[in-house]
Amino acid sequence: MFPARLPWGTTYAVNLTSDASGIGSWKEEQFIKALHERKWMGLDNTRPLMPPMSMMPAIKMSDDELKAIFAYLKTTTPVKNIAPQAVLLPPAASKS
């Protein structure tokens, strides 16, 4: 687990394995949206993806590159692990 304590709170690196507690039930479009539009879980009406992830080079990858990563992640051994919820301080906590 990778906790990042930052001025806007603490975020935790997530489970990217193929388990349901990871990206097992995600659709490809969700994965691309999560990174390109910086939306939590790649869904509309969710909070923004926070640092350090929102500053990672991965967000600048092309659709095709992200599709390739997503396809690979779907082949990984499922690992059940629910990362702790981010603790966001105001004003980050009120953003959506």
How far, in Å, CA of 90 to CA of 96, rounded? 12
Binding-site member from 55, 58, 71, 89 for ligand HEM (CB under 6 A): 58
> From residue 63 to residue 82, what is the string marking binding to ligand HEM with x (rule CB under 6 A)?
------x-------------
The residue whose two tokens read 């910086």 is: 38
* Region at 9 (left for phi over 0; alpha for psi -120 to 50; beta for the rest): left
The torsion angles phi and psi of 35, rounded to 5 degrees, stand at: -90, -45
Residue from 17, 18, 33, 49 in contact with ligand HEM (CB under 6 A): 49
Should residue 92 be labelled a site residue for ligand HEM when binding is judged by CB under 6 A?
no
Binding site for ligand HEM (CB under 6 A): 2, 4, 11-14, 16, 31, 34-35, 40-41, 49-50, 52-53, 56, 58, 69, 86
